[in-house]
């Protein structure tokens, strides 16, 4: 069972939706956000990265930042930049990148289903990042960014969605990065109930992206429940903003690694150690080496690309986490050879989403002139779901989803 709830979205006027919508707060730093929003009073970064409207030296976790976010959100509503719908609706959100589309249903999902693991996770969250969003949600009294959920394809749900998107969208624009965004409003109560009933027959939902946003929304709900011991369970704070996409629509791209140095090893000794667990060959093709199947890796060092192939016996084929390519690399190379004990906290490793291209790996290695980079084969959605179903957790930086959902197109008020 998956609970999906219609809600009264706070959303942009049609004529300025393209100016409001922005990438998620966590894919940019404060300086980048200031640059993006500096000439755009409509930018939702004034809410999601409110430090851009305060002194440049302010701590991004300062209470003033959250108060400013709330002030800016209320001002956008007062100024009619954002308008709340008069009735509970569902919405359809379609994103198209490089000719491939993904189409999801926008609604609210259940805090209790998150707590009961009907909404399944595959990542740990960091307390500092979680607390940041707890403060943001609580003080703004709203979910300002959607949780990216997926579910196993359901032909009846897709049939309803495919018929609805034949209508004219309320929003239709292409962002600066070339991604096309379209939104439809489902106002028909019968259609809303049909969709919600079909989701009640879905076994589970999976968090694809947005673990910190989801965990924070749930912590705020728990706080509100303590403050309101007679809560009924129907209050808006018991639900959080989500976009639900069928797994057949989604695209995970590679999430690559760069290590600053060889952990004190010479290049010859390093290659010798790597060769114990991987077959190593110099790549003689054109350009960077991009793995085309599991168990293979590109490695860039000394201005050369190498192809690595994991040898037999380097992982447990039964364990869904241990057989991930990111785990094989971590357990057989990054940890024991390069000394990256905890990739979550070690400052010698960085991660580069494949959207930036493999040439970015070359640039980063050549900047240091003594490091090494690894191009990865993408984790699959089946692997993600298998790990979540097993109640296990993926290694950090295992998945990178594109395109990114825009913030500002939908806001869910908690009361």
pLDDT digits (tens, 9 = 90+) for 371-401: 999 999 999 999 999 999 999 999 888 999 9
Average pLDDT for 238-259: 96
Q: Which of 308, 350, 303 is nearest to 329 (CA)?
A: 308
pLDDT at 210 over 90: yes
Average pLDDT for 328-352: 95
Helix (H) or strand (E) holding 47, with range, is helix 45-48
pLDDT number for residue 251: 86
Residue 397 lies in a domain: no
In this structure, are 372 and 408 located in the same domain?
no
The domain in which residue 193 lies consists of 4-251+402-413
In this structure, are 99 and 230 located in the same domain?
yes
Residue 393 lies in a domain: no
**Is residue 181 within 8 Å of residue 175, measured between CB atoms?**
yes
> Reduced to 3 states, what is the DSSP secondary structure of residue 90?
strand
Q: Model confidence at 368, in pLDDT bands (50, 70, 90)?
A: confident
Which two tokens mark 30? 């404060």
Number of domains composing the chain: 2
CA angle 208, 214, 219 (to 5 degrees): 160
Average pLDDT for 358-366: 96
Q: What is the DSSP letter of 310?
A: E
In this structure, are 136 and 210 located in the same domain?
yes
Helix (H) or strand (E) holding 235, with range, is none
Q: Which residues pair with 133 in a beta bridge?
A: none
Q: Model confidence at 96, in pLDDT bands (50, 70, 90)?
A: very high
Q: Model confidence at 109, in pLDDT bands (50, 70, 90)?
A: very high
In this structure, are 288 and 198 located in the same domain?
no
Spatial separation of the C-alpha atoms in residues 128 and 25, rounded to whole Å: 15
pLDDT at 87 over 80: yes
CA 26 vs CA 29, 67, 227, 407: distances in Å: 7, 19, 29, 11
In this structure, are 114 and 40 located in the same domain?
yes
Which two tokens mark 272? 């010798």
Q: Model confidence at 320, in pLDDT bands (50, 70, 90)?
A: very high
Spatial separation of the C-alpha atoms in residues 389 and 11, rounded to whole Å: 34
In this structure, are 207 and 337 located in the same domain?
no
pLDDT number for residue 260: 96
Does the predicted TM-score (pTM) go above 0.85?
Answer: yes
Q: Which of 287, 331, 326 is nearest to 313 (CA)?
A: 331
Cis ω on the peptide bond leading into residue 238 (within 30° of 0)? no
Spatial separation of the C-alpha atoms in residues 33 and 223, rounded to whole Å: 30
Query: Max Cα separation, the chain?
Result: 69
Residue 136 lies in a domain: yes
In this structure, are 121 and 223 located in the same domain?
yes
pLDDT at 370 over 90: no
In this structure, are 31 and 97 located in the same domain?
yes
In this structure, are 99 and 30 located in the same domain?
yes
């Amino acid at each position: 069972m998956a609970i999906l709830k219609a809600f009264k979205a706070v959303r942009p006027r049609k004529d300025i939706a393209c100016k409001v919508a922005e990438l998620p707060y966590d894919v940019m730093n404060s300086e980048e956000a200031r640059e993006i929003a500096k000439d755009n009073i409509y930018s939702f970064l004034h809410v999601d990265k409110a430090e851009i409207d305060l002194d440049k030296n302010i701590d991004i976790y300062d209470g003033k930042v959250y108060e400013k976010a709330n002030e800016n959100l209320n001002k956008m509503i007062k100024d009619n930049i954002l308008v709340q719908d008069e009735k509970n609706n569902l919405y359809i959100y379609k994103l198209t990148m490089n000719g491939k589309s993904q189409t999801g249903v926008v609604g609210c999902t259940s805090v209790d289903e998150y707590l009961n693991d009907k909404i399944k996770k595959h990542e740990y969250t960091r307390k500092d990042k979680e607390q940041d969003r707890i403060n943001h949600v609580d003080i703004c009294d709203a979910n300002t960014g959607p949780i990216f959920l997926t579910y196993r394809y359901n032909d009846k749900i897709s049939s309803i969605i495919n018929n609805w998107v034949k209508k004219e969208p309320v929003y239709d624009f292409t962002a600066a990065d070339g991604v096309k965004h379209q939104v439809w409003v489902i106002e028909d109560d019968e259609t809303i109930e049909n969709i919600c009933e079909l989701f009640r027959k879905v076994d589970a939902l999976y968090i694809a992206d947005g673990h910190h946003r989801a965990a924070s929304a749930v912590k705020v709900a728990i706080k509100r429940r303590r403050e309101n011991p007679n809560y009924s369970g129907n209050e808006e704070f018991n639900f959080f903003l989500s976009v639900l996409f069928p797994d057949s629509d989604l695209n995970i791209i590679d999430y690559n690694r760069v290590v600053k140095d060889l952990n004190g090893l010479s290049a010859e000794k390093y290659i010798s150690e790597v060769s114990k667990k991987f077959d190593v060959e110099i790549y003689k093709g054109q350009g960077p080496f991009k793995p085309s199947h599991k168990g293979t890796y590109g490695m860039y060092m000394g201005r050369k690309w190498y192809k690595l192939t994991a040898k037999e016996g380097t992982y447990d084929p039964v364990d869904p986490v241990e057989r991930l390519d990111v785990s094989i690399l971590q357990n057989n190379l990054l940890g024991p050879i390069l000394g990256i004990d905890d990739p979550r906290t070690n400052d010698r490793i960085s991660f580069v989403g494949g959207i930036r291209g493999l040439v970015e790996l070359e640039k980063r290695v050549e900047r240091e002139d003594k490091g090494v980079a690894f191009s990865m084969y993408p984790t699959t959605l089946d692997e993600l779901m298998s790990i979540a179903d097993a109640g296990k957790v993926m290694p950090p930086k295992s998945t990178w989803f594109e395109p990114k959902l825009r913030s500002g197109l939908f806001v869910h008020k908690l009361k």
